[in-house]
Amino acid sequence: MTYAAPLRDMIFTLEEIAGIGEIATLPGYADATPDLVQTVLDEAGKFAAGVLAPLNRTSDQQGSRLENGVVRTPDGFRDAYAQFVAAGWNSLQFDPEHGGQGLPWALAAAIQEMVTSACMSFSLCPLLTQGAVELLGSHGSAAQKRTYLTKLVSGEWCGTMNLTEPQAGSDVGALRTRAVKDGDRYRITGQKIFITFGEHDMAENIVHMVLARTPGAPPGVKGISLFIVPKFLVGPDGALTDRNDLRCVALERKMGIHGSPTAVMAYGDNGGAIGELVGEENRGIEYMFTMMNTARLSVGIEGLAIAERAYQQARDYARTRIQGRAVDGSDVSAVPIIRHPDVRRMLMTMRAQIEAMRALVAFVAGSVDRAKRHPDSAERARHQTTVDLLTPVAKAWCTDTGCVVTSTAVQIHGGLGFIESTGAAQHFRDARIAPIYEGTNGIQAIDLVSRKLARDGGAGMRELIAAMRMTVEAAKSGGEGQFLATHLGEAIGQLAVATDSLAAVVKRDRTTALAVASPYLALVGTVAGGWLLVKAALAARRRRSDAADNDGYLAAKESIARFYAANLLPQAGGLAAMVLSGGDSALTLTEDQF
Ligand X SMILES: Cc1cc2nc3c(=O)[nH]c(=O)nc-3n(C[C@H](O)[C@H](O)[C@H](O)COP(=O)(O)OP(=O)(O)OC[C@H]3O[C@@H](n4cnc5c(N)ncnc54)[C@H](O)[C@@H]3O)c2cc1C
Residues marked as catalytic: 438
What's the min distance (Å) between Cβ of 210 and ligand X? 9
Residue 162 touching ligand X (CB under 6 A): yes
What's the min distance (Å) between Cβ of 25 and ligand X? 37
Q: Which of 412, 437, 541, 430 is nearest to 481 (CA)?
A: 541
Of 331 and 509, the one with the shorter C-beta distance to ligand X is 509
Residue 195 touching ligand X (CB under 6 A): yes
What is the number of alpha carbons within 13 Å of residue 99 lying toward its C-beta?
19
What's the min distance (Å) between Cβ of 445 and ligand X? 9
Q: How far apart are CA 220 and CA 224, in angstroms?
A: 7
Considering only 21, 88, 169, 493, the residue that binds ligand X (CB under 6 A) is 169
Residue 141 touching ligand X (CB under 6 A): no
Handedness of CA 134, 136, 137, 139 (dihedral sign): positive
Of 299 and 359, the one with the shorter C-beta distance to ligand X is 299
Give yes or no for a contact between 562 and 487, defined as CB atoms under 8 angstroms apart.
Answer: no
Number of residues this chain uses to bind ligand X (CB under 6 A): 18
Of 12 and 267, the one with the shorter C-beta distance to ligand X is 267
Of 133 and 472, the one with the shorter C-beta distance to ligand X is 133
**Site mask for ligand X (CB under 6 A), range 248-277, x = bound:** ------x-------x---------------
Q: Which one of the spans 50-58, 164-172, 303-311, 570-578 is the region binding ligand X (CB under 6 A)?
A: 164-172
Considering only 161, 292, 365, 448, the residue that binds ligand X (CB under 6 A) is 161
Q: How far apart are CA 329 and CA 333, in angstroms?
A: 9
Residue 586 touching ligand X (CB under 6 A): no
Q: How far apart are CA 273 and CA 591, in angstroms?
A: 43
What's the min distance (Å) between Cβ of 587 and ligand X? 13
Q: What is the SS3 assignment for 207? A: strand
Residue 196 touching ligand X (CB under 6 A): yes
What's the min distance (Å) between Cβ of 437 and ligand X? 4
Residue 517 touching ligand X (CB under 6 A): no
Q: Hey, how many other C-beta atoms are within 10 angstroms of the C-beta on 56?
A: 24
Residue 170 touching ligand X (CB under 6 A): yes
CA distances from 524 to 8, 276, 316, 530, 579 (A): 27, 41, 32, 10, 11
Q: Which residues of 191-219 are buried (b: 16+ CB within 10 A; e: fewer)?
A: ebbbbbbbbbebbebbbbbbbbbbeebee
Comparing every residue's Cβ against ligand X, the nearest one is: 169
284-320 vs 377-412: helix crossing angle, rounded to 10:
40
**Site mask for ligand X (CB under 6 A), range 325-364, x = bound:** ----------------------------------------
What's the min distance (Å) between Cβ of 190 and ligand X? 12
Looking only at the bridges linking them, the beta strands covering 205-212 and 225-230 are antiparallel
Q: How far apart are CA 486 and CA 492, in angstroms?
A: 10
Q: Which of 488, 364, 345 is nearest to 408 (CA)?
A: 345
Residue 386 touching ligand X (CB under 6 A): no
Q: Hey, how many other C-beta atoms are within 10 angstroms of the C-beta on 545?
A: 9
Q: Which one of the spans 87-95, 188-196, 217-225, 580-588 is the region binding ligand X (CB under 6 A)?
A: 188-196
Residue 312 touching ligand X (CB under 6 A): no
Q: What is the SS3 assignment for 211? A: strand
Three-class DSSP labels, 478-505: CCHHHHHHHHHHHHHHHHHHHHHHHHHH
What's the min distance (Å) between Cβ of 434 and ligand X? 10
Of 388 and 447, the one with the shorter C-beta distance to ligand X is 447
CA distances from 504 to 185, 513, 587 (A): 48, 9, 19
Of 150 and 162, the one with the shorter C-beta distance to ligand X is 162
What's the min distance (Å) between Cβ of 456 and ligand X? 22
Considering only 112, 164, 225, 293, the residue that binds ligand X (CB under 6 A) is 164
What's the min distance (Å) between Cβ of 130 and ligand X? 12
Residue 173 touching ligand X (CB under 6 A): no
Give yes or no for a contact between 369 and 378, defined as CB atoms under 8 angstroms apart.
Answer: no
**Site mask for ligand X (CB under 6 A), range 416-455, x = bound:** -----------------x--xx--x-xx--x---------
The footprint of ligand X on residues 39-78 (CB under 6 A) is: none
Of 288 and 410, the one with the shorter C-beta distance to ligand X is 288
Q: How far apart are CA 188 and CA 185, in angstroms?
A: 10
What's the min distance (Å) between Cβ of 562 and ligand X? 35
Residue 194 touching ligand X (CB under 6 A): yes
Q: What is the SS3 assignment for 558? A: helix
Give yes or no for a contact between 190 and 226, defined as CB atoms under 8 angstroms apart.
Answer: no
At a CB cut-off of 8 Å and minimum separation 6, what does 558 contact? Answer: 480, 537, 540, 541
Of 336 and 442, the one with the shorter C-beta distance to ligand X is 442
CA distances from 279 to 139, 214, 267, 299 (A): 6, 14, 21, 26
Of 150 and 262, the one with the shorter C-beta distance to ligand X is 262
Of 14 and 127, the one with the shorter C-beta distance to ligand X is 127
Q: By CB under 6 A, name the binding residues for ligand X.
A: 161-164, 169-170, 194-196, 254, 262, 433, 436-437, 440, 442-443, 446
